[in-house]
């Protein structure tokens, strides 16, 4: 009845291509309109999608035929676009983070609740078979009672490959806000909400030199901490540690490990949807690869929107708000040497049943 769900995309940067690979042509929805500050880019994107209209952002969020606004703008614009759509009674699904600041994210959540509209937020990588298979093992007690986890992501910095890396070294940037949502959302999925954090942070360089592109050789000032280490206390008693860095050449550490009283799990890169999950239990001499037992198979960016349109809240605004508070609290804890108690909480969403590619592609 009524045809496929109508989606309008605001923001047509690089990430939009990954979303469109999953969403374009899906029978459950139709990309009805697109908007971007670069009008020529909007026209070009619309011309490649049957029946899609290029529009201004103001017109798109006010269009009553749009059921959900997919907000793929830069983080600084996330709250503005979301609030505009909400003011017109339109559901919103946005890229991470939910907003540039926790205060702005709270405004978005409160506005959505007051308007009675739904709010979703990336990352949706946690809905793939990687994290979901690990979640099933934890939920089913296969490693005993969870006691902790480690999450590690390091790189030498985006200036080595990005032609305009300035944003990553300004307020609102840094490794924690850039990559943290993937790892922290996974930790909440696996161990439950965070109640308090502590940590430390540093920056190895006062400026960075761009290595590629037309600005190669230019320097970028560093205004944020670029090596962040945190300790997260979860509501059920587990303790996890997080290392996020733009100051390290490389690491051989596993991206994510979970420890229990009777076993341990190695979880694949949470910036991807799939990958192998390995488990080793008490008495085992080797690690065993677990077959996928939960999650969307062969998923890509945009699966969270399909899940959202289907009526689920597995990639929710509430999760986005909680994870953003964890990150801001960790930065405060590092700056002031304090233990920061969180004001938000969130229930880990229902597990995703093992769902074959053809099933979600067919809607």
Classify 31 as helix, strand or coil.
strand
CA distances for 6 relative to 37, 64, 309, 336, angstroms: 21, 10, 10, 47
Tokens (6 digits) for 55: 């529009």
For the chain, the straight-line distance linking the first and the last C-alpha, in angstroms and rounded, comes to 14
Residue 76, φ and ψ in degrees, nearest 5: -65, -20
Residues 6+ apart with CB under 8 A from 121: 93, 94, 95, 96, 97, 98, 315, 316, 317, 319, 320
How high is the pLDDT of residue 14?
86
How high is the pLDDT of residue 167?
85
Residue numbers in the chain where pLDDT is lower than 50: 1
Spell out the CATH class of 128-295+317-341. alpha beta
Closest alpha carbon to 156 in 200, 199, 209:
209
Question: Which residue ranges make up each domain of the chain?
Answer: 5-121, 128-295+317-341
**Beta pairing class for 29-35 and 5-10:** parallel
- CA gap 166, 152 in Å, rounded: 23
Sheet holding 263-267, edge to edge: 288-290, 277-281, 263-267, 256-260, 146-154, 239-245, 227-234, 194-202, 340-341
Angle between helices 102-115 and 317-336 in degrees, nearest 10: 160
What CATH number matches the domain at 5-121, 3.50.50.60, 2.40.30.30, 3.40.50.720, 3.40.50.2300? 3.40.50.720
CA distances for 270 relative to 58, 151, 183, 184, 299, angstroms: 34, 10, 6, 9, 13
């Amino acid at each position: 009845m009524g045809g496929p769900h109508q989606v309008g995309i605001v923001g047509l940067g690089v990430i939009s291509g990954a979303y469109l690979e999953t969403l374009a042509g899906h029978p459950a929805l139709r990309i009805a309109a697109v908007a971007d500050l670069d009008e020529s880019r909007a026209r070009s994107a619309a011309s490649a999608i049957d029946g899609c209209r290029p529009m201004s952002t103001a017109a798109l969020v006010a269009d009553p035929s749009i059921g959900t606004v997919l907000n793929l703008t830069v983080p600084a614009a996330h709250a503005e676009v979301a609030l505009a759509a909400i003011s017109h009674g339109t559901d919103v699904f946005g890229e991470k983070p939910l907003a540039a600041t926790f205060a702005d994210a709270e405004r978005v959540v409160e506005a959505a609740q007051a308007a009675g509209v739904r709010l979703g937020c990336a990352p949706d990588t946690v809905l793939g078979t990687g994290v979901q298979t690990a979640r099933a093992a934890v939920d089913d007690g296969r490693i005993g009672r969870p006691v902790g986890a480690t999450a590690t992501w390091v790189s030498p910095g985006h200036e080595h490959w990005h032609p305009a890396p300035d944003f990553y070294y300004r307020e609102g940037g840094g490794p924690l806000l850039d990559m943290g949502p993937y790892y922290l959302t996974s930790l909440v999925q696996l161990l439950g909400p965070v109640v308090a954090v502590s940590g430390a942070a540093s920056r190895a360089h006062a400026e960075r030199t761009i290595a590629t592109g037309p600005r190669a050789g230019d320097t970028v000032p560093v205004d944020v901490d670029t090596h962040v280490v945190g300790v997260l206390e979860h509501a059920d008693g587990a303790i996890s540690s997080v290392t996020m860095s733009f100051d390290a050449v490389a690491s051989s550490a596993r991206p994510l490990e979970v420890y229990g009283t009777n076993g341990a799990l190695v979880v694949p890169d949470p910036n991807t949807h799939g990958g192998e999950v390995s488990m080793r239990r008490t008495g085992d001499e080797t690690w065993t690869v677990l077959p996928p037992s939960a999650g969307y198979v062969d998923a890509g960016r945009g699966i969270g929107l399909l899940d959202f349109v289907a009526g689920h809240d597995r990639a929710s605004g509430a999760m986005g708000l909680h994870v953003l508070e964890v990150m801001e609290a960790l930065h405060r804890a590092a700056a002031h040497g304090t233990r920061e108690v969180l004001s938000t909480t969130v229930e880990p969403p229902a597990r995703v049943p093992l769902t074959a590619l053809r099933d979600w592609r067919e809607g």
